[in-house]
């Protein structure tokens, strides 16, 4: 574990491949904003745990971390090409059990499986030795990460076209640089606006129960000098009623084929409030978050987390011992509340069943 005063990059990278030490350095997001600590991970079990415990979180970031986890998992393996291919499959199956909702996790693992098959499978061209295949899989994880940075920047470009100077923009949870390779999805237009002197006034919901909005979004935007105001989740309606919000933009963990969107618990309430106030509700995500194999939001597996997040979330007990608790980590916003979905390919509007399919053609 290392504690840093000054981050290595000029932004805080949540996932850092350390090529000198052949290990994964993960910013422990549970400790933000108080401490900047990088976990030094050398096994796939440690990566699984970091995803499960939210040390790394946010759909793209957990996919990236898991891809490196596959490499760490196969690194000590010794055996034939065929056995290595089977081991990649086992590592992917294992890492896929860490969290159920964000489809980017499964997307990244599928990409690692496909890379392994192309190098080691029966129909692979040439004969790549196991050690070379391991290095190529590490290269694939690095590529997933660097492509995500470019993707997020493009999302930001497209989303920025929806905003004008002086607008108030509300966001929920953290879909920022910390949740991705860089820039984020929902926060990407805010960073680009900042670069170009376009003034946006951002309102960040604190995002109960584990406060990604307060601890992460408010933190990273403040660090970047973006005008950000923190509000409690139950203030969103009041702020909209005052006329301070002209757009809502959030990230997502999975978009179903019909345009229903799973995101951090509380997003649905924000979408309903936005509609009631005539405010556009935008969802920003990479193409890898769109899952045409999941027909509707009702088919998206929603993670439930431990009751302690609600009863002792502030480091002290805030509810009676033994009280019944329901703690879903995500909710589903039906497509009729979604004004547009912004990906690296552009801005998509309804009807989503048709228009999302067209995007993949």
Is-catalytic flag, 165?
A: no
Q: Is 264 annotated as a binding residue?
A: yes
Site string for ligand MRU, 6-25 (x = CB under 6 A): --------------------
Decide: 153 and 146 in contact? Cβ < 8 Å: no
Judged by CB under 6 A, does residue 100 bind ligand MRU?
A: no
Question: Of the residues 148, 253, 260, 291, which is catalytic?
Answer: 253
Site string for ligand MRU, 195-234 (x = CB under 6 A): -----------------x----------------------
Q: Is 59 annotated as a binding residue?
A: yes
Task: Between 74 and 271, name the residue whose CB sits nearer to ligand MRU.
Answer: 271
**Residue 8 phi/psi, 5° resolution?**
-65, -40
Judged by CB under 6 A, does residue 270 bind ligand MRU?
A: no
d(CA 8, CA 10): 7
Give how many residues touch ligand MRU by CB under 6 A: 18
Task: Between 23 and 264, name the residue whose CB sits nearer to ligand MRU.
Answer: 264
Task: Between 42 and 223, name the residue whose CB sits nearer to ligand MRU.
Answer: 223
Residue 309 tokens read as: 């997040």
- Nearest residue to 186 via CA among 207, 171, 204: 171
d(CA 123, CA 106): 23
**Residue 208 phi/psi, 5° resolution?**
-65, 150
**Residue 50 phi/psi, 5° resolution?**
-65, -35
Site string for ligand MRU, 169-188 (x = CB under 6 A): ----x-x---xx---xx---
Among 102, 103, 108, 155, binds ligand MRU (CB under 6 A): 102
Q: Is 263 annotated as a binding residue?
A: yes
d(CA 109, CA 103): 10
Among 26, 47, 50, 59, binds ligand MRU (CB under 6 A): 59
Percentages of the chain per state (helix, strand, coil), in multiples of 5 = 45, 15, 40
Judged by CB under 6 A, does residue 60 bind ligand MRU?
A: yes
Query: Contacts for 87-94 with beta carbons within 8 Å, 24 or more apart?
Result: 88/112, 88/113, 88/116, 88/120, 88/137, 89/113, 89/116, 91/44, 94/44, 94/48
Site string for ligand MRU, 277-296 (x = CB under 6 A): --------------------
Judged by CB under 6 A, does residue 253 bind ligand MRU?
A: yes
- Nearest residue to 12 via CA among 215, 171, 267: 215
Judged by CB under 6 A, does residue 144 bind ligand MRU?
A: no
d(CA 301, CA 84): 30
User: In 10 A of CB 252, how many CB atoms?
Assistant: 31
Shortest reach from residue 143's CB to ligand MRU, in Å? 19
Q: Is 188 annotated as a binding residue?
A: no
* Residues making contact with ligand MRU (CB under 6 A): 57-60, 102, 173, 175, 179-180, 184-185, 212, 251-253, 263-264, 329
Q: What amino acid positions are annotated as catalytic residues?
A: 253
Binding site listing for substrate: 57-59, 99, 212, 263-264
């Amino acid at each position: 574990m290392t504690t840093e005063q000054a981050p290595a990059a000029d932004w805080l990278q949540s996932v850092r491949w350390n090529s000198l030490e052949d290990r994964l350095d993960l910013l422990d997001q549970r400790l933000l904003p108080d401490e900047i600590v990088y976990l030094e991970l050398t096994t796939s079990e440690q990566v699984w745990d970091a995803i499960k415990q939210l040390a790394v979180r946010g759909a793209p970031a957990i996919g990236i971390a898991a891809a490196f986890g596959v490499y760490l998992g196969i690194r000590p393996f010794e055996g034939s090409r065929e056995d290595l291919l089977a081991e990649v499959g086992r590592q992917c199956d294992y890492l896929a059990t860490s969290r159920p909702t964000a489809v980017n996790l499964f997307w990244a693992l599928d990409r690692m499986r496909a890379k392994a098959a192309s190098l080691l499978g029966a129909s692979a061209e040439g004969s790549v030795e196991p050690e070379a295949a391991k290095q190529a899989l590490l290269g694939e994880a690095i590529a997933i990460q660097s492509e995500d940075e470019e993707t997020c920047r493009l999302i930001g470009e497209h989303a920025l076209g929806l905003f004008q100077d002086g607008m108030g923009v509300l966001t929920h949870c953290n879909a920022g640089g910390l949740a991705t390779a860089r820039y984020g999805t929902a926060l990407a237009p805010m960073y680009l606006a900042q670069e170009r002197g376009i003034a946006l006034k951002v309102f960040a919901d604190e995002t109960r129960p584990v406060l990604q909005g307060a601890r992460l979004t408010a933190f990273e935007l403040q660090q970047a000098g973006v005008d950000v105001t923190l509000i409690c989740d139950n203030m969103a309606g009041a702020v909209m009623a005052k006329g301070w919000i002209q757009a809502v933009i959030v990230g997502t963990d999975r978009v179903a084929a019909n345009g229903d969107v799973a995101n951090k618990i509380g997003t649905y309430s924000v979408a309903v409030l936005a509609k009631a106030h005539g405010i556009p509700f935008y969802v920003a995500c990479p193409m890898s978050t769109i899952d045409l194999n999941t027909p509707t939001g009702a088919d998206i597996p929603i993670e439930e987390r431990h009751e302690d997040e609600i009863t002792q979330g502030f480091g002290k007990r805030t509810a009676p011992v033994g009280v019944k608790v329901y703690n879903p980590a995500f909710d589903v916003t039906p497509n009729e509340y979604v004004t547009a979905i912004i990906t690296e390919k552009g801005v998509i509007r309804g009807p989503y069943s048709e228009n999302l399919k067209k995007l993949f053609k």
